Amino acid sequence: MADLKIPFGLLGDKLVSPSEVTNGLKCNCVCPGCKKPLIANHPKSENRVKYFSHYVKNNCSNGYESALHLAAKRVLIEEKRILVPAICAVVDVYDKNTHIHETASGSFESKVITLNDVEQEVRDYDGVIPDIVATSNSKTIFIEIAVTHFIDDEKLAKLKKLQIPTIEIYLEPTSQVPTLEEIRELVVNTPHNRDWVVNPKLDKLKERVKIEAEKKLGIAVNYEMAKQLKFQQAHEKYLRLSDEDKLIYELKKLNKKRTEIESIIRENIKGGKSFGVSNHVWQLSIYRRFIHRKQGNLVEKDDVLEWLNKRFEIKPIFKDSPQIAIYYYLRFLNDLKMLEYNKYTGGYFVESDTTGNDFPY
């Protein structure tokens, strides 16, 4: 930074741009960084930007950055307003048992606030010296100006502890020697170069949004649990039914008479006693779930076992007896030409059901 032209100088304690002072050493200005004399450079060409440079070259490293900090302060004192960034909070919550997700969000848009006061002399706030301290709506706000030095972790920790709203503005000047008007635009009005470093309102918003999301999740989870409980109670009631009543239940679901389904029941099937119900009941349950009005569907043995496991209390009567019973029943339906074995999938396609409707292609 030592070789950069100095965009602004100090005339007494006032920050000035080169066009506000006499050309040359007569400007009477000093460098905002090293406080050594500056000369104002007014190039002959109107198109070239005016700037300051050290009268005697030295290894001043912070003249440029200090000049921008003071220029930012000057324009805020003059303008008495600043654009503050938007804040937004999004919270996702999840329930492990029901796998339900809920999201809630809240935001405040960016807006221009009025600054009632911008402090000329910034004091030490518990070990941290902000670049600019202003008051808006009788509340203190810190404004940090970052040119090459961003807020470091130590300063950030101190700022967070203070809980005073803090904005950081990144000043990447539009030209090597920015004019005061450019600084004015960049500091006061530009939306994309600033962010909240500390914002107690955002913390509160996050808390509020979290509560909202958790409330929504609670309602969804309760609803799901009530649904599951109702389902479970209905299922327990079903399990307590006699075998005859279970058969009536299946027939009612199918809207069929007993005589209409006898042809699809296979008695004396190996492993058939594994499901705690009669052959009529478990076989009709398979038929209703996988075949009836499901022409074209693929029926796979594992899916059938999973279904029966949900419906009944399976107790194998020998090793793999439920799987064997399912295998023989599907083979039986295959022989009836209701199913057709598919060697590529290892499953069966539904060809027709007891309604006589064939698979349409």
- Residue 64 or residue 329: which is nearer to Zn ion going by CB? 64
121 φψ region: left (φ > 0), alpha (ψ -120 to 50), beta (else): beta
Could you give the CA distance from residue 157 to residue 163 in angstroms, rounded to a whole number? 10
Query: Does 63 participate in binding Zn ion (rule CB under 5 A)?
Result: yes
- Residue 34 or residue 317: which is nearer to Zn ion going by CB? 34
- Residue 31 or residue 164: which is nearer to Zn ion going by CB? 31
To Zn ion, the closest distance from the beta carbon of 121 in angstroms equals: 21
- Residue 148 or residue 345: which is nearer to Zn ion going by CB? 148
Residues 169, 171, 177: CA angle, nearest 5 degrees:
155
Tokens (6 digits) for 213: 């999301």
Please give the size of the binding site for Zn ion, defined by CB under 5 A: 5
3-state secondary structure of 126: coil
Closest CA to 58 of 32, 28, 34: 34
To Zn ion, the closest distance from the beta carbon of 109 in angstroms equals: 41
Phi, psi values for residue 317, rounded to 5°:
-100, -15
- Residue 61 or residue 354: which is nearer to Zn ion going by CB? 61
Neighbours of 102 (CB within 10 A): 19
Contact 249, 241 (CB under 8 A): yes
Could you give the CA distance from residue 152 to residue 206 in angstroms, rounded to a whole number? 24
- Residue 33 or residue 322: which is nearer to Zn ion going by CB? 33
106 φψ region: left (φ > 0), alpha (ψ -120 to 50), beta (else): beta
Binding to Zn ion (CB under 5 A) within 7-46 occurs at 31, 33-34
169 φψ region: left (φ > 0), alpha (ψ -120 to 50), beta (else): beta
| Encoded amino acid at 155, one letter | K
To Zn ion, the closest distance from the beta carbon of 32 in angstroms equals: 7
Identified binder of Zn ion from the candidate list 27, 30, 60, 325, rule CB under 5 A: 60
To Zn ion, the closest distance from the beta carbon of 29 in angstroms equals: 11
- Considering only 10-18, 61-69, 183-191, 349-357, which stretch makes contact with Zn ion by CB under 5 A? 61-69
- Considering only 60-68, 142-150, 170-178, 264-272, which stretch makes contact with Zn ion by CB under 5 A? 60-68
70 φψ region: left (φ > 0), alpha (ψ -120 to 50), beta (else): alpha
Binding to Zn ion (CB under 5 A) within 97-136 occurs at none
195 contacts: CB under 8 Å, gap ≥ 6: 85, 167, 168
Binding to Zn ion (CB under 5 A) within 300-339 occurs at none
To Zn ion, the closest distance from the beta carbon of 187 in angstroms equals: 22
Query: Does 156 participate in binding Zn ion (rule CB under 5 A)?
Result: no
- Residue 60 or residue 277: which is nearer to Zn ion going by CB? 60
To Zn ion, the closest distance from the beta carbon of 3 in angstroms equals: 12
To Zn ion, the closest distance from the beta carbon of 36 in angstroms equals: 6
Give me the residues that bind Zn ion (CB under 5 A), please: 31, 33-34, 60, 63
